Amino acid sequence: MPNNHFKKGELYSFITGKASIAIARRLQKKFNTSGLNLTIEQWSVLYHLWKEDGISQQELCNATFRDKPSITRLVDNLEKINLVKRVPSEHDRRINLIFLTKQAQKLQEETMALAENTLNEALTGVPAEKIDVCKEVLQIVYDNLK
Amino acid sequence: MPNNHFKKGELYSFITGKASIAIARRLQKKFNTSGLNLTIEQWSVLYHLWKEDGISQQELCNATFRDKPSITRLVDNLEKINLVKRVPSEHDRRINLIFLTKQAQKLQEETMALAENTLNEALTGVPAEKIDVCKEVLQIVYDNLK
DNA sequence: TTTATATAGTTGCACAAACAACTATATGCC
DNA sequence: GGCATATAGTTGTTTGTGCAACTATATAAA
């Protein structure tokens, strides 16, 4: 029994991810008006470094769901604005370990608060059970396709 | 009662829209392996023209949730590969009406089948009720933020 | 009718993503 | 040790996006 539950108009918004684009844009605006000179993509890299500092670019690829060239350039730009530093691994000279600078460590609290804020705005009026179902469905979609 | 239902790890995937990115990538691959020389973004413009041909660039902005420069360039590229044509409006000379070429009309059936296909793969194992809840939540999120 | 303002679209710039081709290092096998 | 292969990261190219500044046309107000 196939899942033919998508009328044409709905198909489009599922594929283009209108909701998550709207969330990302709202968060970007919050960054901008807070004077944070940071793109959402850069933030998404810092996000994983705040969870575990000093991981490799390859691990950042896996965590952020991006390919290697994308991470190379994001790290390039983060290095330029002094938020991370590449440190060659001593055990494997192919690997760069990426470390947060002090300046980046200071950004965690403020940006995470803005992110939680944004999600609360986005989910206003949505009951908790439905949020859980939605998270579950999106996780299955991701697992089905990866 | 705020909706603080996002543990840190989940917050990230909601903001970055991992699921819809996965869907778009899968569809792009289907286009590529079918020999369709078409990006998802270009397809998303054609999608709305198939529903209503000859709308303005501004209307395409609203429909595709993009800004004017983005549509200008997508239409540029679609014109280059001969899928659409700009026609100046006779009533308002500021406006370009965008029309599908015969070549683009032929693409509708094949690409829409691939898109439905992709969604069916993505939603394999998800019961219909949960899909409905998910669609509902994403719509509310979009409405909350737009 | 002239002037101000709003709207449609374009262009320049910086950043990001996908793909392919490339370099450098590590590992496994003979 | 020497060669094949896999892995980590970089670079070039094309396409797309967001923002600001711009041109051209239309509309409204004086």
The CATH number covering residue B50 comes to 1.10.10.10
Burial class for A39, CB neighbours closer than 10 Å (0-12, 13-18, 19+):
middle
Question: Sorting pLDDT into bands at 50, 70 and 90, what band is B129?
Answer: very high
Share of chain B above pLDDT 90, in %: 88
Q: What is the pLDDT of residue A16?
A: 87
* B92: pLDDT strictly greater than 60: yes
Q: Tell whether B136 is covered by a domain.
A: no
- Cα A75 to the center of its chain, rounded Å: 14
Query: Both B45 and B86 in a single domain?
Result: yes
* A94: pLDDT strictly greater than 70: yes
* Coil, strand or helix at B86: strand
Q: Which range has the worst mean pLDDT, A10-19, B32-41, B124-133?
A: A10-19
Question: Sorting pLDDT into bands at 50, 70 and 90, what band is B13?
Answer: confident
Answer whether any strand D atom is within 7 A of the Cβ of A68: yes
Q: How far apart are CA B109 and CA B56, in angstroms?
A: 23
Question: Sorting pLDDT into bands at 50, 70 and 90, what band is B27?
Answer: very high
**Under an 8 A CB cutoff, do B15 and A10 touch?**
no
Shortest distance, CA A93 to any CA of chain B (angstroms): 30
Q: What is the pLDDT of residue B11?
A: 76
Q: What is the pLDDT of residue B3?
A: 46
Residue range A21-45: average pLDDT?
95
- Kindly calculate the radius of gyration of chain A based on its CA atoms and give it in whole angstroms: 18
Question: Six-digit token pair at B108?
Answer: 């509708």
Strand-by-strand arrangement of the B96-100 sheet? B55-56, B96-100, B84-88
The residue among B21, B43, B20, B19 whose CA lies nearest residue B31 is B43
Judge contact between B100 and B46, C-beta under 8 A.
yes
The residue among A55, A58, A36 whose CA lies nearest residue A111 is A36
Helix ranges (H only) for chain B are 8-16, 18-33, 40-51, 57-64, 68-80, 102-122, 128-145
Q: Tell whether B97 is covered by a domain.
A: yes
Query: Both B106 and B53 in a single domain?
Result: yes
Q: Tell whether A1 is covered by a domain.
A: no
Question: Sorting pLDDT into bands at 50, 70 and 90, what band is B1?
Answer: very low
Helix H or strand E segment including B83: none
* B96: pLDDT strictly greater than 80: yes
* A7: pLDDT strictly greater than 80: no
Residue A111: how many other CB atoms lie within 10 Å: 21
Position B33, amino acid = T
Query: Both B29 and B42 in a single domain?
Result: no
Report the domain count for chain A.
1
Query: Both B22 and B51 in a single domain?
Result: no
Burial class for B91, CB neighbours closer than 10 Å (0-12, 13-18, 19+):
exposed
A29: phi then psi, degrees, rounded to nearest 5: -60, -40
Q: Tell whether B29 is covered by a domain.
A: yes
Q: What is the pLDDT of residue A9?
A: 52
Query: Both B10 and B58 in a single domain?
Result: no
- What is the domain extent for residue B66? 38-113
Which of B1, B64, B112, B119 to probe by mutation at the A interface, max A CB count within 10 Å? B119
Question: Six-digit token pair at B26?
Answer: 């899968």
Question: Sorting pLDDT into bands at 50, 70 and 90, what band is A15?
Answer: confident
Q: Tell whether B12 is covered by a domain.
A: yes
Query: Both B108 and B79 in a single domain?
Result: yes
Q: Tell whether A81 is covered by a domain.
A: yes
* B8: pLDDT strictly greater than 50: no
Position A90, amino acid = E
* B105: pLDDT strictly greater than 80: yes
Which of B10, B15, B65, B71 to probe by mutation at the A interface, max A CB count within 10 Å? B15
Question: Sorting pLDDT into bands at 50, 70 and 90, what band is B7?
Answer: low
Query: Both B20 and B48 in a single domain?
Result: no
Chain B residues with CB under 8 Å of A120 CB are 2-4
* A62: pLDDT strictly greater than 90: yes
Query: Both B12 and B75 in a single domain?
Result: no
Distance of CA A121 to CAs A16, A31, A116, Å?
A: 21, 15, 9
Q: Tell whether A104 is covered by a domain.
A: yes
Q: How far apart are CA B75 and CA B96, in angstroms?
A: 10
Q: What is the pLDDT of residue B4?
A: 52
Q: Tell whether A127 is covered by a domain.
A: yes
Name every residue whose Cβ is closer than 8 Å to that of residue A129 and which is 6 or more positions away in sequence.
none
Question: Six-digit token pair at A54?
Answer: 């000093």
